């Protein structure tokens, strides 16, 4: 049975890019342990002979007609951005953190 430690929750928070507070880490630990306990029951019936199903409807690759369409304009694509400059998204630096 899976049990979540404080360190694991912190690590998962890092992976999720969510800066969890100490209070949240403690609360999540308790809740996720209860949920994990209930979830382990799926392993009881998932035998090797059962194939997994990722999507309920069989997916086929349908090709759409190759027609020219008008996409969003640059202004429309940028309209919801927190910060823009010279027709581009402005993002904080990605280098130099460590």
Partner 1 sequence: MSSTEELVKLSASQMAAQIHAKEISSRELVEAELEVIDAAEPSIDAFLQVSREQALEQADALDKRIASGDTEDLPELAGVPVAVKDMIVTKGIATTAASKILEGWIPPYDATVVEKLKAAGMPILGKTNLDEFAQGSSTEHSAFKSTKNPWDTGRVPGGSGGGSASAVGAFEVPLALGTDTGGSIRQPSALTGTVGVKPTYGGVSRYGAIAMASSLDQVGPVSRSVLDAALLQEVIGGYDQRDSTSIPKPVPPLAQAAREGAKMDLTGMKVGLVKELSGDGYQPGVEARFNEGVQLLQDMGAEVVEVSCPHFSYALAAYYIIMPSEVSSNLARYDGMRYGLRVMPPEGTAQTAANMMSATREAGFGDEVKRRIILGIYALSAGYYDAWYGSAQKVRTLIIRDFEEAFKKADVLISPASPTTAFKFGERMNDPLAMYLSDVATIPANMAGSPAMSIPAGLSDDGLPVGFQFFAPQMRDEVMYKPAAALEAALEAKWGGPIHRDLKTPWLGNK
Residues in the site for partner 1, rule: CB under 8 A? 2, 4, 8-9, 12-21, 24, 27-28, 31-32, 34-35, 38-39, 41-47, 50-57, 59, 62, 64-65, 72, 76-77, 79-83, 89, 91-94, 96-97
> Are the CB atoms for 3 and 33 separated by under 8 Å?
yes
**Cα(98)–Cα(95) distance, integer angstroms:** 8
Least gap, CB of 20 to partner 1 (angstroms): 7
Least gap, CB of 63 to partner 1 (angstroms): 9
**Cα(96)–Cα(49) distance, integer angstroms:** 50
> Are the CB atoms for 76 and 87 separated by under 8 Å?
no
Least gap, CB of 44 to partner 1 (angstroms): 8
């Amino acid at each position: 049975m899976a049990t979540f430690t404080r360190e694991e929750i912190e690590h998962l928070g890092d992976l999720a890019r969510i800066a969890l507070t100490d209070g949240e880490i403690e609360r999540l630990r308790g809740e996720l342990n209860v949920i994990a306990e209930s979830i382990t029951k799926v392993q009881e019936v998932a035998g090797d002979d059962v194939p997994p199903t990722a999507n309920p409807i069989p997916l086929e690759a349908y090709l759409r007609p190759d027609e020219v369409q008008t996409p969003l304009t640059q202004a429309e694509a940028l309209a919801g951005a927190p910060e823009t400059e010279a027709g581009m998204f402005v993002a904080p630096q990605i280098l130099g953190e460590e």
